[in-house]
Amino acid sequence: MQTMTSSRPLVDTGSWTEGLGGKAANLAVLESLGLPVPPWYAVTTEAFHQALTVAGLRERITDRLARADDLAAVSAEIRGWIVGVDLPSKLEEEIATAHAARIGDDAYVAVRSSAAGEDAAGESFAGLHDSFLFIRGRERLLEAIRRVWASAYNERALAYRRAKGIPLDTIAVAVVVQRMIEARTSGVLFTANPNTGSVHEVVISSLWGAGEGLVSAGFDADIFIVDKETPEVSETIAVKSEQLVLDREAGGGLVHTAVPDELRERSSLTPDEVGVLVRLGLGVERHYRRPQDLEFAVDLEGRPWLLQARPVTTVEELGPAAGNRLIWDNSNIIESYSGVT
């Protein structure tokens, strides 16, 4: 077993941007803009490298990937090594300190991947890596971190990297640990219409309960299309019969339940909440100067939270987006100012 030291942080909240991975780096930006983001910290790519190096897995993984003729077999083998790795004691201590300071030991958290290059313009790792929701307790947290690391080597992720020409031996995964919002309503917001490509519209999809019902389970959702200029809202309210909520009996995780009858045909967002979410989304878009794809939750008290942001990768035209209006003027200036001006 090897030992190593480094001045790079193992746990961080924004000071070492390149070690946070895409998702965590975007969270750091949202937080710096004063937007409502649940408390979080990241287990950095340095922690990932150190844990694998100390366990003697770096060279084994590199060697196995060089012989990756059968991605399914290679993936299963590498993931088995990683989920069984012992974390360095220093890393465990730093995670415990950050968790107590930023989130609180009794709070539920979401544990998600933040791979280097993830959520970058032109790339989309969305859905390729595993996420773990409503996690509580030290052992369950450390297990979830190891499983997120391991998911970077799942067959889908390896195939995506290979198809995109991204070297398999450069995988670097940070992990976001973020306080879990027990959501009344969740959804996604696009600051450009992903179906038509129009940069003049905001599109919101929302449903009752956790956002996994939309992004993973494919439950029916309400759709709000908002014109950026007017801002006129066109809404389509779905019959929402299913939702995913905190499994209190199991002490964590999600459980599939029926939506109460009185809520099934009711809008999952009020007009005021739609307006607030649009303003938050456009604020993020103006900062990045390109259309954004955001995940959000509205908690049981009606407060909106931004959970993550990434660029919309399917829209090429960026001019009118983010308030970058194009002004056309046909004034004949020479008639009014004919001399030196």
* Tens digits of pLDDT across the chain (341 residues): 444 556 799 999 988 888 999 899 999 999 999 999 999 999 999 999 999 999 999 999 999 998 878 899 999 999 999 999 999 999 999 999 999 999 999 999 999 999 876 544 445 555 678 899 999 999 999 999 999 999 999 999 898 888 888 888 888 899 999 999 999 999 999 999 989 889 999 999 999 999 999 988 889 999 999 999 998 999 999 999 999 999 999 888 899 999 999 999 999 999 999 999 999 999 999 999 999 999 999 999 999 999 999 998 777 655 555 455 555 666 665 666 565 65
What is the structure's pLDDT at 1?
43
Q: Is the same domain home to 16 and 150?
A: yes
Q: Is the same domain home to 15 and 152?
A: yes
Q: Is the same domain home to 169 and 318?
A: no
Nearest C-alpha neighbor of 84 from the set 146, 151, 10, 3: 146
What is the structure's pLDDT at 204?
98
Q: Is the same domain home to 22 and 144?
A: yes
Q: Is the peptide bond before 231 cis (omega within 30 degrees of 0)?
A: yes
Q: Is the same domain home to 210 and 306?
A: yes
**Does a structural domain hold residue 114?**
yes
What is the structure's pLDDT at 146?
97
Tokens of 331: 């004034």
What is the structure's pLDDT at 315?
73
Q: Is the same domain home to 72 and 97?
A: yes
**Does a structural domain hold residue 335?**
no
Nearest C-alpha neighbor of 24 from the set 5, 9, 2: 9
- Residue ranges making up the domain that contains 39: 11-179
Domain count, the chain: 2
What is the structure's pLDDT at 2?
47
CATH number reported for the structural domain that contains residue 238 in this entry: 3.30.470.20
pLDDT tens-digit map of 278-327: 999 999 999 999 999 999 999 999 999 999 999 987 776 555 554 555 55
What is the structure's pLDDT at 168?
84
- The kind and range of the H/E element at 71 are helix 71-83
What is the structure's pLDDT at 51?
96
Q: Is the same domain home to 140 and 100?
A: yes
Q: Is the same domain home to 210 and 297?
A: yes
Q: List the beta strands (DSSP E) in the chain.
A: 11-12, 40-43, 109-115, 132-135, 173-179, 183-190, 201-208, 222-227, 233-236, 242-246, 254-258, 292-299, 304-311
**Does a structural domain hold residue 336?**
no
For the chain, what is the largest distance between any 2 Cα atoms, rounded to a whole number of angstroms? 81
Q: How far is CA 195 from CA 94, 203, 267, 325, in A?
A: 44, 9, 22, 22
Integer Cα distance of 134 and 340 in angstroms:
69
CATH number reported for the structural domain that contains residue 106 in this entry: 3.30.1490.20
Q: Is the same domain home to 165 and 225?
A: no
Q: Is the same domain home to 148 and 287?
A: no
Q: How many CB atoms lie within 10 A of CB 202?
A: 27
